[in-house]
Structure formats: C-alpha cells, structure tokens
Amino acid sequence: MYHLPDKNGYFGNFGGRFIPETLMPALKELEDAYRTLKEDKDFKKELDYYLKNYAGRPTPLYFARNLSERFKGARIFLKREDLLHTGAHKINNTLGQVLLAKKMGKKRIIAETGAGQHGVATATACAVLGLECVVYMGRKDMERQRVNILKMKLLGAEVRVVDSGSRTLKDAINEAIRDWVTNVRTTYYCLGSVVGPHPYPVMVRDFQSIIGHETRQQIKEIAGRMPDILIACVGGGSNAIGFFYPFLDTKVKLLGVEAGGLGLYSGKHSATLAKGKIGVLHGTMSFVLQDKDGQIMPTHSIAPGLDYPGVGPEHAYLKTSKRVNYTHCRDRDAIHAFKILSETEGIIPALESAHAVYVGICEAKKMSDDNISIINLSGRGDKDLGIMEGVE
C-alpha cells in the first residue's frame, strides 16, 4: 500500500519544509487544521456541495471516437476537467483550500499565478466564499494573459505585479511567500500546485485526487475494467497527481508529460524531472532546473502553466521509484495536438493539456483498440488563443 508522505512531509527523499522559521508555526497550524477538517463530515459535505453545484463535478469521461479512429490505436478517453467552472482543474484545489481557510478563521487569501488560471480559480473561490483576495503575478505573464487579469479584477481580487527576478511564476511565488512571512498571522496562502512546503503537496494532491477517483469509477462503468494507461501534463504537477494518485496501487501505466519547449538540448524548456538536479526551491526538496552554482534557471514553455523550474516532490519520488514514467513534448508538437483535438473532436484544449494529448496520441498509436488510454484534459484553450495567434 502507498502511504506517503510520512509525518514530516517526505515522499522518500523528497518534500519536507524548507522555509523561514516565521512560517513554521503557520504550517503546523495548517497541517493540524487540514488533518482535522478532512475527516470532518460537515466540511466534506460543504466542499462536495460546491464541487457539484458550483464547479460542475463530476466531469464527464468522454470517449474521443474521432480521435481514436483517426490514429487507429487504443481507444482514447478524455477526462473533461476543461468543462469545470473557470475552465480548468484548478478550482478543485481552490474551493478546498479557501473553504479550509475560512474554517480556520482567516480573512485574507493570497495566491500566485503564472498563466492566470490558479489566480482566477482562487479569486472565484474567494468571491463565492466571501474572502479578501490578493494575487501575485509576474509582469511577463501579465503581458501574455491579459484576459485573466480582467477576470480576477472583476471577481474582486487585487492583482499585484511582480517585477523581481524573471518576472514569471517562480517570482510570483517568491513574492507571495514574502507577503505570507509578513502577514502570516492573518493571511492564508493558497498555493496552486503540489509544490511548496509540507503540507501543501499532500493537501493539494488530496483536493485534486477527485479527478482520479471519478475516472476510476467512470471507466469501470463504461468499459467494465481498468484502463491500460493514463497520461497527464506536469508543470508543478497537480492535475497529474490528482489523476494518478487513485491508480498508484494498480498496475495501470502512468505517464507524465513535461514541457519540452524548443527541445531538451536547447536550454529553453521546463522539463524539470528530465533535466533538473535535486535541490530546494520554494520550501521543498525536489528536482530543480538550476545552474552548476545552484541558481535557479529561467525556463520556457509555450504553455504558461508548465513554465516552472520546480516540480512537486511526489513526482520526484514517483520518478525515482519508477512507478510513473515521465516524458516530454515540445512546443510545436503541443501546437499540433491543440489543432488536431480542435478539428477532430471540437474540443479546444489548454496548451498545457495539449502536451498530454500529443503524447497520448503517440502512445495510442502503439496499441490496439483492445486497449484503453485516458488523457487528463486539465483545461480548456480559450485563454491560449492569443498565444496561438502569435504562432500562426
């Protein structure tokens, strides 16, 4: 049986809490509150209510017949997280965390965002649950995700521009941590992925694992059996962990797809598990894209949500324990898959999810129609039309 993390927040050699002392009491408070509330019937009932009636769960498991027939391989199913309110899986986590924060008596929520999806999902949860929301976003990301900034503002959030470092997601996290260190007594930090210090990786995984739990039940109803392979994209890795986690104890093949950018030897990618070294970033021990002096390297991906030099510690563990395989997909292949899925199925995927779609197609081609492959379609592509316009 899989029982990780341990009580100190470690998945094997990965995880832990590498943060300033100021935050340590807050992390312990959070851990205690989470441990109590996750077993609390009223909390679960309230979260289920919002997930069902507000976010739109369960999401369908859709048989992509046209896509499957086109490539004459495995039967491809899509887990439709793109149909959720706010357009991606991020809302599973933010509803959970913001509700938790409210129960803890916190009045002010802070969050970081890269693509803007987690920012929008946090602002949304804060709007419906009535809490103050501040979102940190790098200036570079603000320039490429203008619509999401407008959304966050409409939802009542304050968006703070981050001008330090590379002015992208990692710097937005730095700034959110600095805010948290300063306002720790009143503020709750709603982290958007399975990264950061314990208990974030386990907590975000638990909130996201509804994706895998539903998938397991749905495929059993549809096909009467387990799938052969699951495929998901990995930036920080929250949609992938949520999708994979309920299958870790099975024999189902699990495949994570990192952002290969312009290729792994170009130096312009975000393939942390493939090319990173073990280190500490944002409070957790994991693989990190860094130079020989341990300075964090700039990353690149056409998908802003994958553009991050770290990765969740549980993925680092699952890679080294070989339970999950990890591969990568380049920008141009993701663009290709983005178009194919739009044309064949009438579904415009997020560029992040398109990475998983591309690898999903490649894997399906190696199999026959006796096989079942499920791709986690973590988000929809409306937000990426501007980027695609630039590509044309």
Partner 1 sequence: MSRIAGVFKNLAERNESALITYITAGYPGIESSIDYIRTLARYADMIEIGIPFSDPIADGRTIQYSSYCALKNGISISKIFGMIEPLNLGKPIIFMSYLNPIIAFGVEKFFKKMKAAGTSGLIVPDLVIEESGILRDSAQRYAIDLIYLIAPTSDEKRIKMIGEISEGFVYCVSVTGTTGARERLPADLFSFVKKVKSIVKKPVVVGFGISDTDQIKALSRFVDGVVIGSRLIEIIQNREDLNLYLKKFKEATIRSCVSGHL
Phi, psi of 209 (to 5 degrees): -70, -5
Check if 378 is active-site: yes
User: Minimum distance between the CB of residue 139 and partner 1, rounded to whole angstroms?
Assistant: 15
The residue among 176 and 375 lying less far from partner 1, judged by its C-beta, is 176
> DSSP character for 143?
H
Which positions from 148 through 167 interact with partner 1, judged by CB under 8 A?
A: 164-165
Q: Which two tokens stand for residue 4?
A: 């990780």
Q: Give the separation between CA 130 and CA 368, rounded to whole angstroms.
A: 50
Select the residue interacting with partner 1 from 45, 251, 292, 322 (CB under 8 A).
Answer: 292
User: Minimum distance between the CB of residue 311 and partner 1, rounded to whole angstroms?
Assistant: 15
Concatenated DSSP letters of 325-365? EEEEEEHHHHHHHHHHHHHHHS--B-HHHHHHHHHHHHHHH
Give Cα separations from 137 to 1, 238, 270, 280, 359 (angstroms): 39, 19, 19, 22, 30
Select the residue interacting with partner 1 from 162, 281, 303, 324 (CB under 8 A).
Answer: 281
User: Minimum distance between the CB of residue 292 and partner 1, rounded to whole angstroms?
Assistant: 7
User: Minimum distance between the CB of residue 35 and partner 1, rounded to whole angstroms?
Assistant: 17
Q: Is 278 in the site for partner 1 (CB under 8 A)?
A: yes
Q: Give the separation between CA 50 and CA 312, rounded to whole angstroms.
A: 26
Instruction: Considering only the stretches 10-18, 35-43, 239-247, 331-339, report the one whose residues sit in contact with partner 1 under the rule CB under 8 A.
Output: 10-18
On whether the CB atoms of residues 96 and 112 are closer than 8 A, the answer is: no
Binding mask of the shown chain, residues 109 to 148, with x at each position contacting partner 1 by CB under 8 A: ----------------------------------------
Taking phi first (over 0 means left), then psi (-120 to 50 degrees means alpha), and beta for anything else, what does residue 204 get?
A: alpha
How many residues does the structure list for the chain?
392
Check if 90 is active-site: yes
Q: Is 185 in the site for partner 1 (CB under 8 A)?
A: yes
Burial class (CB in 10 A: 0-12, 13-18, 19+), 186: exposed
Point out the catalytic residue in the list 31, 81, 112, 363. 112
User: Minimum distance between the CB of residue 23 and partner 1, rounded to whole angstroms?
Assistant: 8
> DSSP character for 53?
I
Q: Give the separation between CA 212 and CA 321, rounded to whole angstroms.
A: 20
Max CA pair span of the chain: 57
Q: Is 7 in the site for partner 1 (CB under 8 A)?
A: no
Select the residue interacting with partner 1 from 12, 18, 43, 222 (CB under 8 A).
Answer: 18
Q: Which two tokens stand for residue 23?
A: 């935050």
Point out the catalytic residue in the list 79, 90, 106, 275. 90
First to last CA, the chain: 48
Half-sphere exposure of residue 227: CA atoms within 13 angstroms, side-chain side: 32
User: Minimum distance between the CB of residue 320 and partner 1, rounded to whole angstroms?
Assistant: 16
Q: Is 321 in the site for partner 1 (CB under 8 A)?
A: no
Phi, psi of 279 (to 5 degrees): -170, -170
Q: Is 71 in the site for partner 1 (CB under 8 A)?
A: no
Q: Residue 69 CA to chain centroid, in angstroms?
A: 29
User: Minimum distance between the CB of residue 211 and partner 1, rounded to whole angstroms?
Assistant: 30
Q: Is 283 in the site for partner 1 (CB under 8 A)?
A: yes
Select the residue interacting with partner 1 from 296, 302, 311, 377 (CB under 8 A).
Answer: 296
Q: Is 199 in the site for partner 1 (CB under 8 A)?
A: no
- Which among 217, 222, 213, 219 has a CA at the least distance from the CA of 246? 213
Number of residues in contact with partner 1 under rule CB under 8 A: 38
Q: Is 277 in the site for partner 1 (CB under 8 A)?
A: yes
Q: Is 282 in the site for partner 1 (CB under 8 A)?
A: yes
Q: Is 21 in the site for partner 1 (CB under 8 A)?
A: yes
Check if 266 is active-site: no
The residue among 22 and 217 lying less far from partner 1, judged by its C-beta, is 22
Torsion of CA 140, 352, 315, 78, to 10 degrees: 160
The residue among 15 and 96 lying less far from partner 1, judged by its C-beta, is 15
Catalytic residues: 90, 112, 378
Positions in the binding site for partner 1 (CB under 8 A): 8, 16-26, 164-165, 170-171, 174, 177-178, 181-185, 277-283, 288, 290, 292-296
